[in-house]
Amino acid sequence: QITLKESGPTLVKPTQTLTLTCTFSGFSLSTSGVGVGWIRQSPGKAREWLALIYWNDDKRYSPSLKSRLTITKDTSKNQVVLTMTNMGPVDTATFYCAHRYCSSSTCSVGSGYFDYWGQGTLVTVSS
């Protein structure tokens, strides 16, 4: 059974760096075709894909947020960490992590799916 859980601060101040951890079970991030992604949803807005890391350490970032994001994995701990710098009030959102699978031959394109998601964690940016 695949499960994912997001953890991190619920409140950050403007200009601070947010660090979120996704702890998962039921799969290994060393398995070919497997990845973990981060998605957020700000109040009243559409969900927004942020970043993705694959089993082979291939990393993908949202083009609009790339300069602020870093995604890393710790395979031994079954964790993926996302950092987002220079947080502002507009970054207030619920952040989700999700398991992704793609056939390793098609991971370079958009084929695959985010099949299991965490419950999400609400992060508020306020002074």
Partner 1 sequence: QTVVTQEPSLTVSPGGTVTLTCSSSTGAVTSAYYPNWFQQKPGQAPRSLIYSTSNKHSWTPARFSGSLLGGKAALTLSGVQPEDEAEYFCLLYFGDTQDWVFGGGTRLTVL
**Contact footprint for partner 1 (CB under 8 A):** 39, 45-49, 60, 62-64, 96, 98, 109-120
Query: Is-contact 9 18, C-beta < 8 A?
Result: yes
CB of 113 to partner 1, least distance (A): 4
- Nearer Cβ to partner 1, position 48 or 56? 48
Cβ-contact 23, 15 below 8 angstroms:
no
Of the pair 14, 88, the CB lying nearest partner 1 is at 88
As measured in angstroms, the least distance from the Cβ of 79 to partner 1 is: 18
Pick from 85, 29, 23: which is nearest to 58 by CA?
29
